[in-house]
Structure 1
Amino acid sequence: MPIYHMENEKMLKRHQLLQNKLRQFGFITQNAALLNQLEMMERIVPTDISVLITGESGTGKNILAEYIHKNSPRKNNNFITLDVGCLSPQIIESELFGHVKGSFTSAVSDHKGAFERAQNGTIFLDEITELDLNLQKKLLRVLEDKVIRRLGGEREIRLDLRIITATNKDIRQLVKSGKFRQDLYYRLNETTVHLPPLRERPEDIGPICQFFLDIYNKQYAKKISSVSTAAMSLMQDYSWPGNIRELRNVIKSATALSKREVLWIEDLNIFSKSTADTNPQFNGIKPLDTLEKEYLLYALKIFDGNKTKTAQALDISRPRLQRILERHKIAE
């Protein structure tokens, strides 16, 4: 067997093993480029190297952070998540570093911050770019000295933990514009994992759908086996601005409401990317009848007007397609 075939088989086996591990955490991908990147990430999982995870909202950054922690030597200790973007500037410092009783008006008791609670484990700071420059400076000092003091406190608390951060912003651009400290960026960016948006991973939509179908079939006592060819085509054409989080909600809703064993287009609360792109005023809400007609025209265009191929792609008979075309007054 040629060497390149042997190497390819070895890579496929490694990817399969990695996919199985990730699936246990609900992270599903068949994208070769992403799997190559995650395979590289696997090498630093057993270490304490800081990891910066980038990607749009809903791409699974929090799942990947937990995966890193649960497969590291610190897995039996706390994994503490703090979404910086959800906190007001007035309480972020207290939530990060803690405070002592009486340090400010509402501090009625001592409070352990996220860093202290993550002792010997991992802290995951989501939306790290939302920190203001003052707190960025304090965070850098903590990471370099591995020591914190609670607000209003004098006692130094030495830290032993791993830090993972994430952002949905272009952090390098923020560094260039002076909105994020370059020295802190270098400290957090010992290694980076970028999660591409779902629209760039169309091959992942089917497996992710099936994963969520399995979950919600059990939750709602349904027996939906799959998604129709036409519905899958629609989903692969859609831009998924909310990424996997949005796809999960679409499948959850469709599973709960559908009375079929296979999900059809009308079960899905989404619209065609091509429709949105060609109709700037379209706000995502249209009558189902209009959407069906637009999608039929789109499908016919894809197959150069060939009704037999169009019917096969839509998972319907050719006579049924003809009746639908007549109903919409779509000419030959």
Structure 2
Amino acid sequence: MTVTSRPFGTAPDGTPVDRWVIDGPGGLGAAVLTYGGILHSCRVPDREGVPGDVALALASVGAYAEDESYLGALIGRYANRIAHGRFALDGTTYRLPPNEGTTTLHGGPDGFHRRVWAATGFEDGDRAGVVLRLHSPDGDMGFPGNLDVEVTYSLDRHGTLAIAYSAETDRPTVVNLTQHAYWNLAGDGTVDGHELTVDADLYLPVDADAIPLGPPAPTAGTPFALGGKLADALRDPHPHITAAKGVDHCYVLRRGRAAEPRPVARLAEPASGRVMETWTTEPGLQVYTANHLGAPHGPHTAVCLETQHFPDAPNRPEYPSTVLRPGEVFRSVTQYRFGAVATTR
């Protein structure tokens, strides 16, 4: 396993951007940009051993700077949505810039997906990767406290792409970090034929602004009971609460937050035989079927499996807390474990 870096253009403010490439055996590999901490490539073999790129990407930093779909990016300070762009913490109300109507989505208009991260590569026997670091100052996008974030991407020779997060603050704040890769195990086309199962009996119904309505609801008997081809979920999920056919909902994982990663989802593509298992320590999984993805890819050409805490949790004391205080360390680990089978289960 090796890791190398090369220049990859400049950010809109002129800051140089690098592309870190992790290479493994049999064409296995990944690439990460320092702009947005973007996963720019993920190459895994199919059942015949032929490698293919299963993560959607764009061609340049300029394209990413104009992109509004968070393609492949690290998301922070707060993944998903905060209603009305505000929350209260310890008696103080904090106001955030809205970027989806009145909602603050994925950290705001200048979230972590727009930043250039400092990077250091490493090689460690059967795995290699890159460590990304970012300082988010007090008041950044309205969030309190200086926040120092570290994210480690690593790939091992067995086909596991791991993403480990940590963060520390000097003032009470809220933190919810995730990775926004768009997966297509076929490498192109739509994901209609992909098969997805999620280890969850409950999901969070949402209103017209994609804000949770309240407590979790059972998936049984609804189009959100994912356990087969994504075409079933794309056909007619819930037209009265979402204008786009498709899924963009948080699943409440059966075992809640865990100390060590455990399997929470399985994505399979029958034609190639590729399988991707998602393992995480997080309590929630946002499943998004790229309902609004624009050119050059288009809607439903990928599926996002975003491991995270729940949307709008800072305004929902009944949800798992996203509060981080001085002296504490936010930690989270997600693994995407790739393989290939002769036939899907």
Which category of TM-score, normalised to the shorter sequence, fits these structures? under 0.3
Tell me the TM-score normalised to structure 1 length.
0.20
- Higher Cα Rg, which structure: 1
> Which structure has more strand as a fraction of its residues?
2
